[in-house]
Amino acid sequence: MEKHIKEILLSTKFEAIQDNGLIASAVLLLIVCKEGEYQVLFTKRSQRVAHHKGEIAFPGGTVDVHDPDLLHTALREGKEELGLRPQDVKVLGRLNDVSTSTTGFVIATYVATIPYPYSFQVNQDEIAGLFFVPLRLLRTQQLAFSPRCPEKETDRLGSPFRYQEEVIWGATARILQLFLDLIRPI
């Protein structure tokens, strides 16, 4: 499956959003082979972070002045948040950028794999926890649900997914949907 995902991503020209008014950031959409099946890793942000407290996200963050490019940003943030060693991250490709209208970010997404099991070193100041969602459930839309999060403006922010007790919504749900739309034929 990794080979097919990489081929799809390499054959699809990603669209970057060029807007100097937005804060540049980058995330890793990480896929692992866990319990004999491909799963996507999600983080739950801590209550100590400046933005998106308690929300479900992909590992990542904003560009630092020392980052030479967006991939470096994603890898640096993966190391800071989860203890990921850049040499363990196998980048398969990039998705279209996604912007957030309420917080003013533009997000570059790199789809990658890491070996599993992995010796995560979670930075608890930034991350409250991790969880994995089987890709087969995401691909068959078994997790999608129609009720909107009443306290959030999800009509503009993406249709949410529910997995166990967690709700994946907003930019994370939109990024996930972009990925799923690309790989659906596999």
Domain locations in the chain? 2-135
Are 76 and 64 in contact by the 8 Å Cβ rule? The answer is yes
pTM of the model: 0.91
Residue type for position 66:
H
Alpha-carbon distance 72 to 86, whole Å?
9
More confident residue, 185 or 134: 134
The predicted pLDDT at position 155 comes to 43
Q: Are 74 and 108 contacting, i.e. CB atoms less than 8 angstroms apart?
A: yes
pLDDT digits (tens, 9 = 90+) for 68-102: 999 999 999 999 999 999 999 999 999 999 998 88
* Angle formed at CA 85 by CA 44 and CA 51, multiple of 5 degrees: 30
Pick the CATH number of 2-135 from 3.90.79.10, 3.30.70.270, 3.40.50.720, 2.102.10.10: 3.90.79.10
Compute CA distances 40 → 23, 30, 101, 102, 134, whole Å: 25, 6, 25, 26, 6
pLDDT, tens digit, for every residue of 22-49? 999 999 999 999 999 999 999 999 999 8
- Alpha helices in the chain, H assignment, sequence order: 2-11, 70-82, 135-139, 154-157, 170-183
- Would you state the pLDDT for residue 143? 60
What pLDDT does residue 162 have? 85
Q: Which is more confident, 159 or 158?
A: 159
Say if residue 156's pLDDT is above 80.
no
Residue of higher predicted confidence among 65 and 144: 65
3-state secondary structure of 166: strand
Q: What is the mean pLDDT of residues 97-122?
A: 95
Strands (E), 18-164: 23-34, 37-45, 56-57, 60-62, 90-94, 98-99, 105-113, 127-134, 161-163
* Average pLDDT, integer, range 112-119: 98
| Token couple for 39 | 């799963």
Summarised one tens digit per residue, pLDDT across range 128-155 is 999 999 999 988 765 655 444 444 444 4
* Whether the Cβ atoms of residue 161 and residue 176 lie closer than 8 Å to each other: yes
- The pLDDT value recorded for residue 24 is 96
In sequence order, what are the beta bridge partners of 45? 127
